[in-house]
C-alpha cells in the first residue's frame, strides 16, 4: 500500500539519491524534497549530476559547481555539476604539474589523450565524490541530495567507484586514456570512501522514482537490482503522477487513469518489497518554490486554467513519413530528453517506412535499451531490429585490438596494452566504433537510430574527433567507418534528425538547448515531434483540461520556433503504424 510522500515525516539518512528513467520527475521530486526539508529547519544541499540538468528551470536561478543558497529558501543550497566545466578543471589540474617541464609535443599528446568523453565522465565523477567525501561540507548540512542523471548514466556513474578502485589496484604501470595516472591514483582513498558510503544504509538512501507506467517501472526494477548488486541496498520506491478522475463522463480521463492502474499491476515482486510512496499528478509545470510546496500538499493544479486560446496546429506523423520517404534512403535519428518517447517514435518511423516497401535497420545506442520490449516479435523481412550492447561491444573491441596488434608487441608493451583495454573508458570507445559501423555498413534503405538520452547523445556526437584520436591510439589505426562518420552526420541529404519532446516546460527547454548544441556541431534537425499531446484531444476532466491548456502554450511556442512540427495526440497505447489505427 503506497503512502503519501511527505519528506519531513520520513527518517532520511544523510545522503539521498533520486534516480529513475528519464522524464519520471526525478528533478521535481528531489527539488520538492529539498524545499520541504529546508522549510522544516534542515540545512540542505541539493546537487545535480545530470549532464542535462534543469535545476535552473525549476528554481529560476543559474547555478554552477560551487554551492550557493537559494534566494527564496535560505536554508537550501544548490550545486549544478556541469560535465564540460568539470572536465576542463580536471584536465588543467592533471596537466599543470607537467607544463614547462616536458617537451611541448608530449604535452600536446597528453592533451589529445584527455580530450575525449572518458575525461568528461571521470571529471564529473570527481566532482560527485568530492561532495560525498568532504567532511567540511558535511558539517555544514543536515542532508545532501543528489538529483542524478537518467538511469543509464546514473548506473555508469555509480559503478565507477568500484571500477576505478579496482583499476588502480590491478594496473600499477599507469596506462590510461585519462593521461597521467598519478593524478588518478591520488583519488584512490576518496573512491574507496565513496564505495563504503554508498553501501552504508545508515548514511545513504536511494529513492527510485517512477511514473505509473510499465516501461518506467521495468526500468526502476532493473536499476534497483543492478545497484543492489553494487551493495546500494537501502532503497525506497516513489510512484510519481498518480491521476484521480473527477469527470466520469470523460473517456480520455478514464483511459488515462485505466492505463496507470493497469501499469501498476506490473510492479515486480522485487519492487513490492520496498517501502512505497506516492505523489499526485501535476497538470501544470512545476517551476518555482511555490509550485513545489503546493504539489507536495496535493493542491497543485486543482483549479482549472481559464483560457480562450485556439489550439495550436501542426503537421501529422504521416507528413513526417512522407517527407522522409521522398529520398528513398537515409539515416534517421530520434533525439530528446529521456522519457519523451524517442523509442516509440523511432519504431513508428521504421514501421511506416517498411509499410511503404523500404527495408529498414532499426537500432538503439541507449544503454537502457527499450526496443526489445516493443519488438518481442517481428514478422517483416524488411525490418531488422538490433541494439548496441555496451558489454558485448566492449568485449568484442578488446579481443579485436589484441588479435590485430599483439603479434607486433614485446611482453612489456603487451601488458601495457592489456592494462589500457581494461580501463572503464574502453566501453565508450567500443560503443562509438560500433555506432560508426552501423552507419557505415548497414545495407537497408533506411537506418533508424533511437539514441540515448540527451546528455549521452551529445557526448557521443561531440566527441567524434576525440574518439577518432582515441581509437587510433589504442588500436593503432582508424577504421573507415569512424573516418566517414562525421561527414555522414553533417550531410543534410543523408541524415535526418527528429527532435522528440513532450509539450511541457522542461522537455521543451531541454529540446531547445539540444537543438542549439546540434547546430554548433553543424547538425540541423529536420522535424520536431510533440509527442502524446492532450491539447489536440477532447477532454472535460478539469485536471486534464488544465494540462491540455498548458500544453497548448508549449505547442504554440514550438510551432512558432520551428517550421516543421508534428503533433502526436495522446493515446492509451502508442500507435506505431497505420495497421494499428
Domains, the chain, in order of start with CATH, read: 3-297 (3.40.50.300), 317-569 (3.40.50.300)
Q: Which range is least confidently modeled, 91-100, 183-192, 383-392?
A: 183-192
* 180-211 tens-digit pLDDT: 454 555 666 777 788 788 889 999 999 999 99
Picking from 230, 24, 20, 18, the residue whose alpha carbon sits closest to that of residue 143 is 18
Contacts of 354 (CB under 8 A, 6+ apart): 360, 380, 382, 383, 577
* 488-497 tens-digit pLDDT: 878 888 899 9
Q: Are 433 and 481 in contact (CB under 8 A)?
A: yes
pLDDT reported for residue 161? 54
* 369-387 tens-digit pLDDT: 667 767 766 678 899 988 8
Q: In whole angstroms, what is the distance from residue 550 CA to residue 568 CA?
A: 16
* 556-580 tens-digit pLDDT: 999 999 999 999 999 877 656 666 5
Reported confidence tier of residue 303, pLDDT bands at 50, 70, 90: low
Hey, how many other C-beta atoms are within 10 angstroms of the C-beta on 478? 17
Hey, how many other C-beta atoms are within 10 angstroms of the C-beta on 168? 19
Query: Do strands 383-385 and 360-364 pair parallel, antiparallel, or not at all (unpaired)?
Result: parallel
Contacts of 296 (CB under 8 A, 6+ apart): 5, 6, 7, 32, 36, 279
Q: In whole angstroms, what is the distance from residue 253 CA to residue 439 CA?
A: 42
CA distances from 238 to 216, 339, 341, 447 (A): 12, 17, 21, 37
Q: Are 501 and 336 in contact (CB under 8 A)?
A: yes
Average pLDDT over residues 236-242: 95
Quote the cell numbers at residue 535: 491539447
Q: In whole angstroms, what is the distance from residue 417 CA to residue 420 CA?
A: 5
Q: Are 385 and 378 in contact (CB under 8 A)?
A: yes
The number of angstroms, rounded, from the C-alpha of 177 to the middle of its chain's C-alpha atoms is: 24
The number of angstroms, rounded, from the C-alpha of 507 to the middle of its chain's C-alpha atoms is: 12
CA distances from 338 to 34, 150, 152, 211 (A): 23, 7, 10, 13
Residues with a catalytic annotation lie at 23, 25-28, 50, 506
Q: Strand, helix or coil at 241?
A: strand
Quote the cell numbers at residue 305: 486554467
Average pLDDT over residues 225-253: 90
Q: In whole angstroms, what is the distance from residue 228 CA to residue 222 CA?
A: 10
Amino acid at each position: 500500500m503506497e503512502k503519501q510522500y511527505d519528506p519531513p515525516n520520513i527518517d532520511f539518512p544523510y545522503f539521498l539519491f533520486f534516480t529513475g528513467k528519464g522524464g519520471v520527475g526525478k528533478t521535481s521530486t528531489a527539488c520538492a524534497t529539498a524545499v520541504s526539508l529546508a522549510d522544516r529547519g534542515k540545512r540542505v544541499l541539493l546537487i545535480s549530476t545530470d549532464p542535462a540538468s534543469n535545476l535552473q528551470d525549476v528554481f529560476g536561478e543559474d547555478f554552477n559547481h560551487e554551492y550557493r543558497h537559494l534566494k527564496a529558501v535560505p536554508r537550501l543550497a544548490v550545486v549544478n555539476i556541469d560535465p564540460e566545466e568539470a572536465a576542463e578543471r580536471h584536465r588543467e589540474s592533471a596537466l599543470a604539474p607537467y607544463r614547462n617541464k616536458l617537451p611541448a609535443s608530449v604535452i600536446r599528446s597528453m592533451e589529445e589523450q584527455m580530450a575525449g568523453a572518458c575525461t568528461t565522465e571521470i571529471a564529473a565523477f570527481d566532482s560527485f565524490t568530492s561532495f560525498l567525501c568532504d567532511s567540511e561540507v558535511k558539517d555544514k548540512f543536515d542532508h545532501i541530495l543528489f538529483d542524478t542523471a537518467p538511469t543509464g548514466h546514473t548506473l555508469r556513474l555509480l559503478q565507477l567507484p568500484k571500477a576505478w578502485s579496482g583499476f588502480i589496484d590491478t594496473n600499477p604501470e599507469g596506462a590510461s586514456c585519462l593521461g597521467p595516472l598519478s593524478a588518478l591514483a591520488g583519488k584512490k582513498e576518496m573512491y574507496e570512501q565513496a564505495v563504503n558510503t554508498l553501501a552504508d544504509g545508515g548514511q545513504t538512501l536511494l529513492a527510485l522514482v517512477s511514473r505509473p507506467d510499465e516501461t518506467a517501472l521495468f526500468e526502476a526494477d532493473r536499476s534497483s537490482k543492478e545497484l543492489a548488486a553494487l551493495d546500494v541496498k537501502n532503497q525506497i520506491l516513489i510512484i510519481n503522477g498518480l491521476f484521480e478522475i473527477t469527470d466520469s463522463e470523460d473517456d480520455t480521463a478514464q483511459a488515462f487513469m485505466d492505463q496507470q492502474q493497469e501499469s501498476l499491476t506490473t510492479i515486480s515482486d522485487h519492487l513490492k518489497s520496498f517501502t512505497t510512496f506516492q505523489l499526485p499528478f501535476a497538470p501544470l509545470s512545476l517551476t518555482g518554490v511555490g509550485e513545489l510546496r503546493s504539489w507536495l500538499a496535493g493542491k497543485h493544479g486543482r483549479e482549472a486554467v481559464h483560457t480562450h486560446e485556439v489550439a495550436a496546429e501542426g503537421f501529422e506523423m504521416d507528413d513526417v513519413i512522407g517527407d522522409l520517404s521522398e529520398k528513398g534512403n537515409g539515416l534517421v535519428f530520434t533525439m530528446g530528453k529521456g522519457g519523451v518517447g524517442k523509442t516509440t517514435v523511432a519504431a513508428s518511423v521504421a514501421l511506416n517506412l517498411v509499410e511503404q516497401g523500404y527495408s529498414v535497420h532499426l537500432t538503439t545506442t541507449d544503454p537502457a535499451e527499450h526496443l526489445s520490449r516493443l519488438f518481442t516479435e517481428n514478422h517483416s523481412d524488411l525490418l531488422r531490429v538490433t541494439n548496441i550492447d555496451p558489454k558485448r561491444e566492449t568485449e568484442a573491441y578488446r579481443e579485436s585490438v589484441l588479435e590485430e596488434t599483439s603479434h607486433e608487441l614485446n611482453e612489456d608493451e603487451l601488458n601495457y596494452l592489456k592494462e589500457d583495454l581494461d580501463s572503464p573508458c574502453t566501453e565508450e570507445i567500443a560503443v562509438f566504433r560500433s555506432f560508426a559501423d552501423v552507419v557505415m555498413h548497414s545495407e537497408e534503405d533506411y537506418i533508424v537510430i533511437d539514441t540515448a538520452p540527451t546528455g549521452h547523445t551529445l557526448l557521443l556526437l561531440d566527441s567524434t574527433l576525440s574518439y577518432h584520436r582515441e581509437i587510433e591510439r589504442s588500436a593503432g589505426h582508424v577504421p573507415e567507418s569512424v573516418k566517414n562518420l562525421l561527414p555522414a552526420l553533417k550531410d543534410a541529404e543523408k541524415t535526418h534528425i527528429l527532435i522528440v519532446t513532450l509539450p511541457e516546460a522542461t522537455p521543451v527547454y531541454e529540446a531547445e538547448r539540444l537543438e542549439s548544441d546540434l547546430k554548433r556541431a553543424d547538425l540541423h534537425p529536420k522535424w520536431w515531434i510533440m509527442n502524446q499531446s492532450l491539447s489536440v484531444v477532447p477532454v472535460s476532466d478539469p485536471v486534464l483540461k488544465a494540462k491540455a491548456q498548458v500544453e497548448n502554450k508549449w505547442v504554440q511556442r514550438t510551432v512558432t520556433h520551428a517550421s516543421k512540427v508534428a503533433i502526436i495526440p495522446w493515446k492509451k497505447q502508442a500507435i506505431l503504424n497505420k495497421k494499428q489505427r
